[in-house]
Amino acid sequence: MRIPSRVVAASATATALLVLLPATGAAKLVTFGSNLKGRASVKQARQADTAYWQTKFAGGRSTRSPVSGQIRLVKIKGTALSNWKMGSPIGGERMFHLQTLRRQANGRWKILVTTQPFYLPGRGTPSQTISTFRPINFCVAKGDSVVFNTVGGWDGMASRTGPYPDGTPLQIFSQATGSAVSEYTKANGTNNGSVITGKAAAGRELLMRMTVGTGHDGTGLCKGGTDVTP
């Protein structure tokens, strides 16, 4: 059967338009945070729940998420200096959570969302190990920060004769001139909805890097994502 020339021309035009039009909801992965080039040589230990987050990078690079979407994975360089294992007595815990944090008009910060628990590699692991963690449906909005939240890891001995008198030492920071990491410590004070005030430590970098998925690379449960795969 002979196809009329006007139909062929219309089809060709439509095909050309499809090629020229941008795809909607295009998938995209965006990273922010540390470049993980620094050495994990600085350790911090706190007895109670503590939130750490980057508030300044050398050179003025932004510390906050550049897009809205789903945080698909987080890479952390370093270890917890602890021999703790599941079922061990209190003290030296390596468990942590990731959280999103939003700056408020008064300069304070509000914790929005918390992930499932994760565990840093422990004592005996090479100190410059980079571990990858994959949160479930972890949403972030453009301009939000991401928190590393430790459970503390104090051994509970007021006499300071136990193995973890100040909590679990976390060797996940580097020395970095011009950078700063803020922290906030309070037992049971870093839950969703908590409004906190950071205390900055200059010359530090939290060795944590986030990858955000948008479009088809992010779940539709998060603003900026469109994937509906269960």
Number of domains in the chain: 1
In a domain, 13, yes or no: no
pLDDT > 70: percent of the chain: 88
Q: What integer pLDDT is reported at residue 25 of this predicted model?
A: 52
Average pLDDT, the chain: 89
- Closest by CA to 183, choosing from 24, 86, 49, is 49
pLDDT, tens only, 93-133: 999 999 999 999 999 999 999 999 999 999 999 999 999 99
Domain assignment present for 127: yes
Average pLDDT over residues 192-197: 97
pLDDT at 17: 39
pLDDT of residue 10: 44
Three-state SS string over the chain comes to CCCCHHHHHHHHHHHHHHHHCCCCCCCEEEEEECCCCCCCCEEECCCCCEEEEEEECHHHCCCCCCCCEEEEEEEEECEECCCCCCCCCCCCCCEEEEEEEEECCCCCEEEEEECCCEECCCCCCCCCCEEEECCCCCEECCCCEEEEEECCCCCCCCCCCCCCCCCCCEEEEEEEEEEEEEEEECCCCCCCCCEECCEEEEEEEECEEEEEEEEEEEECCCCCEEECCC
Quickly tell me which residue has 């410590």 as its tokens: 185
Residue 203 within a domain: yes
- Residue 33 covered by a domain: yes
Confidence of residue 20 (pLDDT cuts 50, 70, 90): very low
Confidence class for position 8, pLDDT limits 50, 70, 90: very low
> Cα–Cα distance between 119 and 132 in angstroms, integer?
11
Q: Which domain holds residue 58?
A: 25-227
Task: Say yes or no to pLDDT of 4 above 70.
Answer: no
Q: What is the pLDDT of residue 228?
A: 72
Is residue 160 included in any domain, yes or no?
yes
Residue 49: exposed, middle, or buried by beta-carbon count in 10 A (0-12, 13-18, 19+)? Answer: buried
- pLDDT tens digits for range 131-146: 999 999 999 999 999 9
Residue 11 inside a domain? The answer is no
pLDDT beyond 50 at 27: yes
- pLDDT higher for 3 or 107? 107
On whether residue 65 sits in a domain, the answer given is yes
User: What's the start-to-end Cα distance of the chain, in Å?
Assistant: 45
Range among 20-24, 27-31, 37-41 with highest mean pLDDT value: 37-41
**pLDDT score of 99:** 98
List the structure tokens of 24.
């909607």
Query: 4 in a domain, yes or no?
Result: no
Residue 31 in contact with residue 212, Cβ under 8 Å? yes
Q: Do residues 77 and 128 touch, judged by C-beta distance below 8 A?
A: yes
Confidence class for position 225, pLDDT limits 50, 70, 90: confident
Is 181 or 229 the better-scoring residue by pLDDT?
181
Give the pLDDT confidence score for residue 12 in this predicted structure. Answer: 46
Q: Give the pLDDT score at 16.
A: 42
Tell me if 53 sits within 8 A of 148, measured CB to CB: yes
Q: Dihedral of CA 159/162/163/167: which sign?
A: negative
